[in-house]
Amino acid sequence: MKIGIAADHGGYVLKEIIHPFLLSQGLEVVDFGANELDNSDDYPDFVLPLAKAVADKEVDRAIAICGSGVGASVAANKIAGVRAALINDHFSAHQGVEDDNLNMLCLGGRVTGYMAAQELIIAFLNARFTGEERHLRRLQKVHLLEK
């Protein structure tokens, strides 16, 4: 599985921890930056290229990190085909995929500790969309807004 990651300055430290963690899990990682800690950088500059890569299926799933995870999720959901959510609990990390076909996990680098983040990431990556009719029906109503 190919995983895209991105972070602004608020998520940079956590991104630098999860990057080697993902590699240790045998995953291919594409890092969309930031490539250095710059307190004046802006999350859309990293999250939107990542979101476009998800929409274009250049990566299978994505993890975006800003300080709270809020800005990352707001920006990513502007891109058609992206289903991003700020996740802080284990249940939502897998249920978001199973029911809502979540393809981008957003984390708060200033909120979620690195061990908890790793567990959320594993739950997210191991989960699969069930494809059940009621979930497809609901997603279809969402996707109509993208036209």
Which residue ranges make up the site for ligand RB5 (CB under 6 A)? Answer: 8, 10, 43, 66-68, 70-71
Q: Which of 54, 66, 105, 125 is catalytic?
A: 66
Nearer to ligand RB5, 32 or 43 (CB): 43
Nearer to ligand RB5, 67 or 96 (CB): 67
**CB of residue 11 vs ligand RB5: minimum separation in angstroms?**
6
30 φ, ψ (degrees, to nearest 5): -115, 120
**CB of residue 135 vs ligand RB5: minimum separation in angstroms?**
28
Q: Is 106 considered catalytic here?
A: no
Contact predicate 3/59, CB 8 Å:
yes
Contact predicate 84/27, CB 8 Å:
no
Specify the 3-state DSSP secondary structure of 105: strand
**CB of residue 33 vs ligand RB5: minimum separation in angstroms?**
14
Residues contacting residue 107 through CB under 8 Å, at least 6 positions apart: 11, 14, 63, 64, 65, 69, 72, 86, 87, 117, 120
Neighbours of 80 (CB within 10 A): 12
Contact predicate 30/6, CB 8 Å:
no
**CB of residue 15 vs ligand RB5: minimum separation in angstroms?**
12
Please identify every residue annotated as catalytic.
66
